[in-house]
Amino acid sequence: MSSSSAARGRGEKARPGVRPPMRDALVAAAFQLFLERGYEQTTVDDIVALAGVGRRSFFRYFPSKEDVVFPDHERCLADMTTYLAASADEDEPVRRVCDAARLVLRMYAENPTFSVQRYRLTKKVPGLRAYELSVVWRYERALAEYLRVRFAGRPDGTLQADVIAAAVVAAHNNALRSWLRSDGQGDASATVDHALGYVQSAFGVGVPAGRPVGEQPEDVVVVVSRRGAPLWRVVREIETALDRD
């Protein structure tokens, strides 16, 4: 695959006589070589030679060879942080972090071909898997920091924030990897929405901002009865509890 076709695979329309932006040209060259030679066998010198630029130009955009595999994560993390910072007090916090996670999905879905190529490459290279985990941790930390502020003053607010952030990331990544394993076929948004729905139903939907996560909403009635009690007695206890409300 030529560097121009790699660029088109990333959603860029090549035009005769017009070179792609240098950053995109480096990514296209890198993935062409990764696919042809393998990641470990490709050096930064190989990448810049194919892209027709110098080493200094490469390191102006990417601190390392690993970074060229994940060229959009820094921008996406900045977008997520900005989105969370713009949250209003009336925004339900769990819904807000789920929507923030959808920004990551959008980044992947913008370019299915490139995303699938990266997924396959990352599976083969242990160093890239470790790098990817560090990227995921940064997303999770951004979500947790936002929730910690929103849950400040709640009982176990920090614990709740960390657990929910981890759940959002786990649900998102489970759905995202399922989509990537299908070679980017199908509706990625629907798959992720389904997964995040579990998180919202467990921690967020119907939970007012002032109530600790996990606390029962006011319209839930819990009745305790002895094992073996006749059904008519259980029903009467429920009716009595409802009458008291």
H runs (alpha helix) in 1-125? 3-9, 22-37, 44-51, 55-61, 65-69, 73-85, 93-109, 112-124
Q: How big is the CA angle at 104 (ends 67 and 10), to the nearest 5 degrees?
A: 60
Both tokens assigned to 230: 């006749």
Residue type, 132: E
pLDDT for 186 equals 87
- Contact of 33 with 47, CB cutoff 8 Å: yes
- Contact of 223 with 237, CB cutoff 8 Å: yes
pLDDT for 153 equals 86
Q: How big is the CA angle at 144 (ends 139 and 149), to the nearest 5 degrees?
A: 135
Q: What is the pLDDT along the chain (245 residues), one digit of tens a residue?
A: 333 334 434 434 434 444 558 888 999 999 999 999 999 999 999 999 999 999 999 999 999 999 999 989 999 999 999 999 999 999 999 999 999 999 999 999 998 999 999 999 999 999 999 999 999 999 999 999 999 999 998 889 999 999 999 999 999 999 999 999 999 888 999 999 999 999 999 886 444 433 443 444 445 555 566 666 665 565 566 656 555 54
Backbone angles phi, psi at 127, to 5 degrees: -65, -35
Beta bridge partners of 18: 15
- 39: which DSSP letter? S
Half-sphere exposure of 135 (CA within 13 A, CB side): 21
Both tokens assigned to 200: 């919202």
Half-sphere exposure of 160 (CA within 13 A, CB side): 22
pTM of the predicted model as reported, rounded to 2 decimal places? 0.72
- For the chain, the first-to-last Cα distance in angstroms comes to 70
